[in-house]
Amino acid sequence: MAEFFTDVAPIRFEGPDTDTDLAFRVYDPDRVVLGQRMADHLRMAVCYWHSFHWPGSDVFGGGTFDRPWLEAGRDPMDAARMKMDAAFEFFTKLGVTFFCFHDADLAPTGDTFAESKRNLEELVDLAGQHMERTGVQLLWGTSNAFSHPRFAAGASTNPDPEVFAYAAAQVKNAMDATHRLGGANYVLWGGREGYETLLNTRMRQEADQLARFLTMVVEYKHAIGFEGALLIEPKPQEPTKHQYDYDCATVHGFLERYDLVGELLVNIEVNHATLAGHSFHHEVAYAVDHGIFGSIDANRGDPQNGWDTDQFPNSVEEMSLALYEILRGGGFTTGGFNFDTKLRRQSLDRADLFHGHVGAMDTLAQSLLVAASLLEDAELEAARDARYAGWGEGLGAQILDGKHSLADLEEQVASGGLDPQPVSGGQERLENLVNRTLWRAVSAPPDPPPAA
Ligand code: XUL
Ligand code: CO
């Protein structure tokens, strides 16, 4: 098997004081945090599409990256096998637990549906062999039902029922592929499930179509005995002007409306959360609190740009707050952190792909230490508990139990029996508490293990 990343040795944990550029300073897979290995807490994955299938193009220019398998003139199946060799070499040298793929980045699209299906089956077999050889696992698979021109007006929400049928056929095969490779989840990102103009759109009709499609996906999951979770990935817009799976709350309402709660969870992407005008922390807290949390696409946007830049996550503060909510909720079950991340177009060296991922993995490891520390200190939780204490007993509990009416409460207030006084929300104290933990963990991670 030809090696592609010949200049890079397997990445090792060397501790915070190492001088080695490409080494983990914090991520030590076997280090135990809150009773669990770091690797098992974080369940990190590399994505196939941006890292191996994207040539570094943007809307103003073509590919810039050195990716021999993407060169014109190669036999598409030979190129796909070469890409897979490079991908598994990368996963192994990085020491990542999982990967994720779309059907279209794993296998070339054929001239007919049958040829595409054969290509996918052959590449899935090969991926299975690589997985067995390396121990790398599949976090999730998905289907690209947004790039081909037939999906320009949507996949399941297309005004043409034949496009709905085509998308259904494609998703069925991608679910089979994911199942065959033992995927922990199957993801549905509604790339063009939205509209460009309301002038030609029936929103209610399209919502009914989307719900019908998701119901068929749920039925098929049960029919084939796939035990992973089905995940919807919210995004407010891009490429469409408006996407129906706008954010976690919108998806939640949709699931409630179509009786799909419990069958589908969410895959929350950081840059999608910020595009929706939320913080990542908000989206994670919403999903955990409402029982729809599934998995994360870890990346970040650029505060100056209003689009999906998919940069590598590098903010310990942003990730710590999200991880705090995830740990509070009991941690991941089937989900994990998938790096849905793109190199910058000028990052031309083969080693740049390692720099992006190593930094992101250390960022998450450090964030895990901060989140664990916040949880162990229990001060944040104690402040929240104290703030809502009134609802656990007496009047609060009675109100929630439906024991009072408006008239009844008016009588209590009018008779002078109730005279509530404002109390401090204590926001600055809580922000300082988070910062103190961040600074403590940054300057001295607890129990640094010896260098390997
Ligand atoms: C697009 C995006 C996708 C999904 C999978 O913004 O995030 O890569 O994660 O289709
Ligand atoms: Co994503």
Structural domain boundaries in the chain:
32-377, 386-440
Block means of pLDDT (10 residues each) for the chain, 452 residues, are: 94 96 97 97 98 97 97 97 98 98 97 98 98 98 98 98 98 98 98 97 98 98 98 98 98 98 98 98 98 98 94 98 98 98 97 98 98 96 97 98 98 95 97 95 56 54
Atom number, ligand 1, closest to the C-alpha of residue 238? 6
Ligand nearest to the CA of 146: 1
Residue 233, ligand 1, Cβ within 6 A: yes
Rounded to the nearest whole angstrom, what is the distance from the C-alpha of residue 233 to the centroid of ligand 2? 7
pLDDT for position 442 = 62
The pair phi, psi for residue 37, each rounded to 5°, is: -60, 145
pLDDT for position 306 = 87
Residue 293, ligand 1, Cβ within 6 A: no
pLDDT for position 443 = 55
Please, are residues 161 and 210 in contact by the beta-carbon 8 Å criterion? Answer: no
Residue 362, ligand 1, Cβ within 6 A: no
> Ligand 1, atom 3: nearest CA belongs to which residue?
189
Q: Which residue has the tokens 């969870």?
A: 265
Compute the distance between CA of residue 369 and CA of residue 377 in angstroms, rounded to an integer.
12
> Ligand 1, atom 8: nearest CA belongs to which residue?
340
Rounded to the nearest whole angstrom, what is the distance from the C-alpha of residue 110 to the centroid of ligand 1? 22
- Active-site residue list: 102, 105
Classify domain 32-377 by CATH number.
3.20.20.150
Please, are residues 100 and 47 in contact by the beta-carbon 8 Å criterion? Answer: yes
pLDDT for position 2 = 84
Other residues' Cβ atoms within 10 Å of the Cβ of residue 399: 14
DSSP-assigned beta bridge partners for residue 155: none
pLDDT for position 452 = 53
Q: Which residue has the tokens 């946007």?
A: 301
214 closest CA partner among 198, 233, 227: 233
pLDDT for position 254 = 98
Rounded to the nearest whole angstrom, what is the distance from the C-alpha of residue 144 to the centroid of ligand 1? 9
Q: Which residues surround ligand 2, an ion (CB under 5 A)?
A: 269, 297, 340
User: What one-character DSSP code corresponds to residue 24?
Assistant: B
Rounded to the nearest whole angstrom, what is the distance from the C-alpha of residue 189 to the centroid of ligand 1? 6
Other residues' Cβ atoms within 10 Å of the Cβ of residue 418: 10
